[in-house]
Structure 1
Amino acid sequence: MRHPHLDVRRAVRTALSGLPDGSAVLVACSGGADSLSLAAATAWVAARGGSRAGAVCVDHGLQPGSADQARSTAAALCGLGLDPVVTVHADASRGPDGPEGNARAVRYAALTAAAERTGAAAVLLGHTLDDQAETVLLGLARGSGPRSLSGMAARSGVFLRPLLGLRRSVVRAALPAGLEPWDDPHNEEFAYARARVRHRVLPVLEAELGPGVAEALARTAELARADADALDAQATAFFASDARDRSGVDHGESGVPDRRKPGPLHDRQSGGVPLAVTDLAALPRAVRWRVLRRAAIAAGSPPTDLTAAHVAAIDTLVTAWRGQDGIDLPGAIRATRAEGALHLTPRTGTAAGGQGEPPPPHP
């Protein structure tokens, strides 16, 4: 008979194997069953593998008694042998993204700061395969494209998610006896979309389509991530190459930079982010839209406010040009077409070329 704690420990050991020997890590622990199970497994692995493991508890202050709960969790983590155990208060009561979004933003900021302060090489998060499946369904409902469907990465910067390949039931069965997890009431509150997906949508899918739906959604995330990574790499390469052109460096046939010549996309008038329309039009749409999004963000449009609809509107200046006016974007940025290039500039300024580009003749 297989013991669940072996699976959890193996997952943690695999995740830590990618770090330099002797690295310090932190476990992000809310006091819930998943993160407590992760913390216990990490303490066990670290004690036998030469790593140093601590923990960090983030108190959002959104519920009565949250500070007491954070202290209780910290005491349990110390009892596991984790050191240091850091408790951080991160107010999530204000912000533009609602309770869930605000809490997520301040939590990740607090975890990043804790890692920097303690010198930790990584912060381990307790997301499971079930969390991944829920994330894919939420992304599908938003219609946000393959990047949203790719779910959560096993590694993203300082964050590691060792448990993404394990079902929540396995992770919770591995929780050592004597540890009392805290059940966040928000996880049962149907005002939150994730709670509805967890308790209503996924069970219905499992009942109607048969077992294995969560695993299939997690596989979808893995495949979508590989595709999105490849497309992002192409967009990055194009944007970086185009930036070199905009820098005014002409490599010429010899490959030797000639800084006397402006690059073909050098914006001499607006100081914005010009992109050659012919080069953009030649890109596959999946790559072109990524380039347009990067250009808008580089010009100052906030990435959290820039939607797929905004990018689609910019794209009409490239692929459906009829002499139309520019496109207003979040962050007071305006996209216009002039002199064979797409320009993204502050809305209070003027686009390069002044009068714009004449529309093509009607067929």
Structure 2
Amino acid sequence: MARHALGPATLAVVQALEGAWRDPERDPDGSWLVGCSGGPDSLALALGAYEACRRAGALSRLGAVVVDHDLQQGSAAVAATARDRLLAIGYPSEAVRVVRVVVDPEQARELGIEAAARNARYAAFEQVAAEAPVETEVLLGHTRDDQAETVLLGIVRGSGMRSLAGIAPRRGPYVRPLLDLARADLRACCAENDLAWWEDPANADERYARVRVRHRVLPVLAESFGGDGAVSAALARTAALARVDADFLDALAEAAEEDAVVPATERAGDELDCTELAFLPEALRTRVVRRWLVGHGSREPGAVHVAAVCALVTHWHGQKGVDVPGLRVVREEGHLRATGAPRDGDRGPA
């Protein structure tokens, strides 16, 4: 791709990526792996990452991966076109991987096709990143609009503070440098650089809650409370503020968990001390219990499940136990114990 003066949208994208490259949390000797679908967001991300690394003299530490979920007719051709776009930007062919994944049908039934596809995609990202000889961050192209949609979905689902905190800019190997930019900015970036993008038909399928929020809810809010991205920006600010509080509470819960956990024995895994839990504020107790449930293999325990387990501590009257997704929890000898799968499905308190 010929180099020319950067347009305003492209400049904003490149500056966001340069900021991510200079982030003190990034390993200075590490590399980047761009997750690219061929859509406008990930193509703009790929362009910005390429330019930021070029300016830093670090193109040898930049790669990309295109994931083919094989869920739509012609998906292989879409993946191949995305690869061609990356090569046109300037990525060398050896730096671009196309990975075909199989979406777990059981996960699709339990979690929905979106979540199952995301799990498969992220597993592919992590596998490719793990093959690198240095620490590798995976860059994803989520935008301010994605953040706003996530916050609204958390609100309508009655989720807690962590869900309200939305998409984290940095979590584990994943970095999302474009959360302060609007989706329209990334489309403008692609247009400025003559990058044709793929429109995922799923983004127009209103069977998905996120699509309904995008096409029905946010436009009404924008009309009522200010257009030009004002609502999305406000929701993104809400997420940032909530994330500060959620991170602080999670750190306190992690410390509290050290006192509440009773180490594993030969006959049982680690347990939770009910006396220690009882003295914790509810905000910490629920977090400790949820972390413990997930650590024992519970699949996405909801607020109702966590509350039922906490009731074994705070409202103990000899209950037989509580069934949560993937586990049964009982109270014995003043400890909470995970005893394996629920007896008759996930039925809540027994």
Fold match (TM-score > 0.5):
yes
Q: 1:301 to 1:21 in 2, by over 3 A?
A: closer
Q: 1:116 to 1:273 in 2, by over 3 A?
A: closer
Deviation at 1:347, TM superposition (A): 4.9
Match of 2:130 in 1: 116
Which residue identity lines up with residue 62 of structure 1 in the other structure? Answer: L
Match of 2:148 in 1: 133
1:56 matches 2:65: yes
Q: 1:269 to 1:76 in 2, by over 3 A?
A: closer
SS at 2:106's partner residue? coil
User: What TM-score do you get using the length of structure 2 for normalisation?
Assistant: 0.86
Match of 2:286 in 1: 289
Q: 1:311 to 1:22 in 2, by over 3 A?
A: closer
Q: Partners in 2 of 1:235 and 1:271 — Cα distance?
A: 23
Q: Partners in 2 of 1:81 and 1:9 — Cα distance?
A: 15
- Structure 1: runs of 5 or more not aligned: 248-266, 349-363
SS at 2:142's partner residue? coil
How big is each residue's C-alpha offset from its partner over 1:88-147, in whole Å with a ceiling of 9 and x where there is no partner?
A: 001226232221111111011111111112346211111000000001111112212011
Q: 1:61 to 1:347 in 2, by over 3 A?
A: closer
**Residue 98 of structure 2, aligned match among 83, 87, 101:** 87
1:190 matches 2:202: no
Match of 2:347 in 1: none
Maintained 8 Å contact 1:34/1:171: yes
Maintained 8 Å contact 1:326/1:335: yes
Maintained 8 Å contact 1:328/1:347: no
Match of 2:220 in 1: 204
SS at 1:123's partner residue? strand
Q: Partners in 1 of 2:28 and 2:277 — Cα distance?
A: 46
User: What TM-score do you get using the length of structure 1 for normalisation?
Assistant: 0.83
Maintained 8 Å contact 1:126/1:163: yes
How big is each residue's C-alpha offset from its partner over 1:30-62, in whole Å with a ceiling of 9 and x where there is no partner?
A: 101111111111111111112232211001011
Q: Which deviates more, 234-243 or 163-172?
A: 234-243
Match of 1:256 in 2: none
Q: How does 1:264-303 map to 2 (within 5 A)?
A: 271-298=268-295, 300-303=296-299
Task: Provide the aligned C-alpha RMSD in A.
Answer: 2.2
Q: Partners in 2 of 1:118 and 1:313 — Cα distance?
A: 44
Match of 1:153 in 2: 168
Q: Partners in 2 of 1:347 and 1:65 — Cα distance?
A: 42
**Residue 16 of structure 2, aligned match among 8, 11, 19:** 11
Which residue identity lines up with residue 142 of structure 1 in the other structure? Answer: R
Q: Partners in 2 of 1:80 and 1:347 — Cα distance?
A: 51
Q: Partners in 2 of 1:271 and 1:20 — Cα distance?
A: 39
Deviation at 1:328, TM superposition (A): 2.5
Q: Partners in 2 of 1:183 and 1:334 — Cα distance?
A: 45
Q: Which deviates more, 276-285 or 156-165?
A: 276-285
Q: Partners in 2 of 1:130 and 1:329 — Cα distance?
A: 33
**Residue 316 of structure 1, aligned match among 301, 311, 318:** 311
How big is each residue's C-alpha offset from its partner over 1:199-220, in whole Å with a ceiling of 9 and x where there is no partner?
A: 1111111111223111111011
Which residue identity lines up with residue 105 of structure 2 in the other structure? Answer: R
Deviation at 1:24, TM superposition (A): 2.3
Q: Percent identity?
A: 45
Deviation at 1:268, TM superposition (A): 7.1
Q: Partners in 2 of 1:335 and 1:13 — Cα distance?
A: 51
Which residue identity lines up with residue 302 of structure 1 in the other structure? Answer: S
Which residue identity lines up with residue 78 of structure 1 in the other structure? Answer: L
Deviation at 1:272, TM superposition (A): 4.3
Maintained 8 Å contact 2:169/2:179: yes
**Residue 166 of structure 1, aligned match among 174, 177, 181:** 181
Q: Which deviates more, 306-315 or 182-191?
A: 306-315
SS at 1:181's partner residue? coil
Deviation at 1:69, TM superposition (A): 1.1
- Structure 2: runs of 5 or more not aligned: 1-5, 342-350
Match of 1:326 in 2: 321
Deviation at 1:279, TM superposition (A): 2.2
SS at 2:280's partner residue? coil
1:229 matches 2:247: yes
Match of 1:179 in 2: 195
Q: Partners in 2 of 1:149 and 1:241 — Cα distance?
A: 28
Deviation at 1:277, TM superposition (A): 2.6
Match of 2:344 in 1: none
Q: Which deviates more, 318-327 or 79-88?
A: 318-327
SS at 1:55's partner residue? strand
SS at 1:61's partner residue? coil
Maintained 8 Å contact 1:332/1:346: yes
Structure with higher helix content: 2
Maintained 8 Å contact 2:321/2:329: yes
> If you compute each CA radius of gyration, which structure gives the higher value, 1 or 2?
1
Q: Partners in 1 of 2:29 and 2:269 — Cα distance?
A: 47
**Residue 119 of structure 2, aligned match among 105, 109, 131:** 105
SS at 2:62's partner residue? strand
Deviation at 1:229, TM superposition (A): 1.0
Which residue identity lines up with residue 307 of structure 1 in the other structure? Answer: G
Count of residues in correspondence between the two structures:
324
